[in-house]
A and B are shown apart, each in its own frame.
Chain A
């Protein structure tokens, strides 16, 4: 067991992890998740925000079980490997803001870095603009890091702190299964939350059991291998270290191969599911998301896995994503299949301004 756990951290290990995640992501679509959305941290957090009633976009409301399962899978992996370590105190408020802004950017593109690669693996060429934006955001983040950007150290915290996010995850899973209706309308009739889309992407989902099992596997493997879609690009540019990139390319390749086998590879720009063809804002949205993720130290998936292993600041980032998703839809900033909303591009520009201010304003790392 110990050998297996440490194998996952090696080069062949992370390539294997990427392959497993790639195949699982494609299979989740086969089981019912929206197309090219087997796994999308941003989309799923957005759906959870909708399920909880933090926004009222009726087509994207579902307490996606994959997200709590990612966290719990990582929690279990960290416990088994004796790596669970409650810690916090590295500018949590700034991480909250970064989480919210990353979400606003990702929802202009319609996907996080995970989905950008999965969209590419499904033949959605609009993802190319998203990925170029993502790389641009990461490069910008590296410039800030080289100038000494830092949100400062975290510090060991009581064990209870490390349990907060895993317990919230268990609560969320309970809400998915029980599906209570807390709200009452004027006539006193029960209405959501919990909301569940009747149409649109939020209505498309793999069976709960399959989502949970897949999520637990991904969370476990990703915690052990330190899988990160931002680190993959960042470490190559910053350190010439291709370790994480190998895992990411393996994910994209195996998702592509699985799509080919299942007849789900449909190359083209138009008619792609849960996507729009506005190249400029596919690019722009992901510049914002990529920069915010880089300044927070990892991709949205990584933030989930870190919060599972006890990192309270990563947990705050995730809360920021949840609230950012609420704002994104309530303020009509998120794109639809028709294209960016009238307010999305301005939100991206304002968000970029704020993230640049964070990049310039936080330089507390000792040389």
Chain B
């Protein structure tokens, strides 16, 4: 994966359940077929957002980011 590519980023930090997942899902709907990155600040939100990938048939990976996490969604195999 190249770090240079343009990637839609959603900042869901600090929102209570279920808002991070809602924000992530609407970003995925608006960017079908494209990678999307979701910033969250708790492990709970990271896990909740990551479970979305399984249901939407996407690949997801999470890395630590600024004291929280960045969950990146990509189309499978992309």
Contact = CB atoms under 8 A, between A and B. Distances in A.
B7 interface: no
A234 interface: yes
A150 B19 contact: yes
A85 B41 contact: yes
A153 B43 CA distance: 16
Interface in A64-99: 81, 83, 85, 87, 89-90
B15 A226 contact: no
Contacts of B21: 235, 238-239
Given A239-B25, A239-B52, A365-B23, A226 B18 contact: no
A146 to B, nearest CB: 8
A276 interface: no
A243 interface: yes
A22 interface: no
Contacts of A365: 15, 19, 23
A298 interface: yes
A154 B52 CA distance: 23
B14 A241 contact: no
Contact of B19 (A83, A145, A235, A313): A145
Contact of B14 (A153, A296, A367): A153
A359 B56 CA distance: 29
Nearest to A150: B19
B6 to A, nearest CB: 19
Given A9-B47, A145-B22, A156-B67, A297 B42 contact: no
A83 B40 CA distance: 13
A339 B67 CA distance: 51
Interface residues of B, number: 23
A154 B15 CA distance: 7
A85 B43 CA distance: 10
Contacts of A154: 14, 16
Contact of A83 (B11, B13, B43): B43
Contact of A243 (B15, B26, B51): B51
A231 B13 CA distance: 19
Contacts of A83: 42-43
Interface in A284-323: 296-298, 313
A153 B15 contact: yes
A151 B22 contact: no
Given A145-B19, A156-B67, A367-B26, A240 B14 contact: no
B2 interface: no
B17 interface: yes
Interface in A222-279: 226, 228, 231, 234-235, 238-241, 243
A153 B14 CA distance: 4
A238 B22 CA distance: 9
B47 A231 contact: no
Most buried by A among B26, B43, B47: B43
Nearest to A310: B42
Contacts of A153: 13-15
B19 A240 contact: no
B32 to A, nearest CB: 17
A87 B47 CA distance: 19
A145 B41 CA distance: 20
Contacts of B26: 367
Contacts of B55: 239-241
8 contacts: A81-B43, A85-B42, A150-B15, A235-B21, A238-B18, A239-B25, A239-B52, A243-B51
Interface of B: 11, 13-19, 21-23, 25-26, 41-44, 47-48, 51-52, 55, 67
